[in-house]
Amino acid sequence: MRPNLIGTPEQIAERILEYEEAGLGLLLLQFSPQLEEMESFASQVMPLVEAKRKQVIV
């Protein structure tokens, strides 16, 4: 299964949360170039995922 995590950071964050809501507990990602893309994902996408999780809880 391919996660189709392509788009803006906001779109990717939404897609990750959709997978979580469907019951997915682990998402393995591959980046290329590895270091640069991992840093971008960590700084641009993950803060959005965390913020959106908090919105759902409240």
With respect to residue 3, please indicate whether it lies within any of the assigned structural domains: no
d(CA 31, CA 44): 14
Per-residue pLDDT tens listing for the chain (58 residues)? 676 899 999 999 999 999 999 999 999 999 999 999 999 999 999 999 999 999 877 6
Amino acid identity for residue 54 in this structure:
K
With respect to residue 1, please indicate whether it lies within any of the assigned structural domains: no
How many structural domains compose the chain?
1
With respect to residue 2, please indicate whether it lies within any of the assigned structural domains: no
pLDDT of residue 4: 80
pLDDT of residue 56: 72
pLDDT of residue 10: 97
The CA angle 14-17-23, to the nearest 5 degrees, is 150
pTM for the full model? Answer: 0.84
pLDDT of residue 1: 64
Do residues 48 and 13 make contact, with C-beta atoms less than 8 angstroms apart?
yes
pLDDT of residue 33: 93
